Amino acid sequence: MHRLAFLTLPILILWFVENGFPLVRMHYKKSKAYHAAINFGLTLCHLVVHAALATWLVLVSDWCQANQFGLIHWFAMPVWAIVLTAVLGLDFFGGWLVHILEHKVPLLWRIHVVHHADNNVDVTTGLRHHPFEAINRWIFFTAGAFLLGLPVYAIMISQTLNSMFTMFTHANIALPQWLDKAISYIFISPNMHKVHHHWKQPYTDSNYGTTFSIWDRLLGTYTFLEPENLRYGLDRYYNNSEDEKLGELIKSPFTIDRNNLQQ
């Protein structure tokens, strides 16, 4: 509950700041509030699944501590190194790795399309995921925590940091170009992540990171695009006119044209 409260305030602040310093002029189908309500509706569905799986993540972590299993135990890491390993390692497993697979594996892409179907990317888009995506993310996140042998406190620190960057990078805010560029050398910046939401490939299939930009830069998936050239949504797979219809978004993994997924 403390973590939830800690994350809610930045969301509200960014949601209002977007009005004064927008990166892109939005064209909401009804209103900014209605758009947020749709995204929060998806979030609540996502959280139900996520909460059900959270207990298993704790059990995996407890087993690792009881059996001294995982990288941090094999190298007898101090607390600061455990936290650093958690932040970097879980950002790779639960951020970059699962994300690129969601774009490359047709079945996973069907589920992830809901996130990319948003034609107006703002801070609430960071919360917009199909409930099934919670399962995908949990599998990779838990696998990373298991291999690294992470304790619960390190997992919570990593999750909180990832969540904060998710809100920050999706927010429709215009940072000075020099500041955004400076941030992007180490972390994911707002402009860097917005490229990932551009409606056409190969831009959609780039900049997969959540917190750190090092994975995209080291693994060859980094791409740059000037903010004025951004256009959100999808050029195929999905009818962009339905990006604010909750029922259609929930059904989308089952209704996407199979042939389009192979293009």
- The amino acid sitting at 7 is L
Asked whether the predicted pLDDT for residue 263 surpasses 70, the reply is no
Digit-coded pLDDT (tens) for 147-177 = 999 999 999 999 999 999 999 999 999 999 9
Asked whether the predicted pLDDT for residue 95 surpasses 70, the reply is yes
Instruction: Give the H/E segment covering residue 194.
Output: helix 190-196
Q: Looking at residue 5, what is its pLDDT?
A: 67
Number of CB atoms found within 10 A of residue 83's CB? 19
Number of CB atoms found within 10 A of residue 129's CB? 23
Asked whether the predicted pLDDT for residue 43 surpasses 90, the reply is no
Q: Looking at residue 3, what is its pLDDT?
A: 64
Q: What is the arithmetic mean of pLDDT over 177-194?
A: 95
Q: Looking at residue 198, what is its pLDDT?
A: 95
Residue 210 banded pLDDT, cuts 50, 70, 90: very high
- The amino acid sitting at 198 is H
Pairwise CA distance, residues 205 & 42, whole Å = 23
Residue 192 banded pLDDT, cuts 50, 70, 90: very high
Going from N- to C-terminal start, the domains of the chain cover 34-262
Contact 93, 155 (CB under 8 A): no
Pairwise CA distance, residues 20 & 41, whole Å = 25
Query: What global pTM score does this model have?
Result: 0.91
Pairwise CA distance, residues 153 & 171, whole Å = 27
Asked whether the predicted pLDDT for residue 44 surpasses 60, the reply is yes
Contact 49, 137 (CB under 8 A): no
Lowest mean pLDDT among 6-15, 113-122, 252-261: 252-261
Contact 23, 191 (CB under 8 A): yes
